[in-house]
Amino acid sequence: MRFPRNTKVFRGQLDAAPYAGVFFLLAIFLLLNSSFVFTPGIPIQLPEAAALPGTLNPTVAVAIDDSSRIYFDNQFTSEAALKRSLSQAVAATPDLTLVIQAHKNVKWDTVVRVLLVAHEAGVKNALPATRPPAASAPANPVGTNHE
> What gap in Å lies between CA 29 and CA 147, rounded to an integer?
59
Please name the amino acid found at residue 32.
L
The predicted-structure confidence for 72-120, as pLDDT tens digits, reads as follows 988 899 999 999 999 999 999 989 999 999 999 999 999 999 999 999 9
Selection from 3, 134, 127 nearest residue 60 by Cα = 127
To the question of pTM greater than 0.85 for the whole model, the response is: no
The predicted-structure confidence for 21-59, as pLDDT tens digits, reads as follows 999 999 988 887 765 656 677 788 888 888 777 888 899
Please name the amino acid found at residue 105.
N
Q: Considering the domain 59-128, what is its CATH architecture? A: 2-Layer Sandwich (3.30)
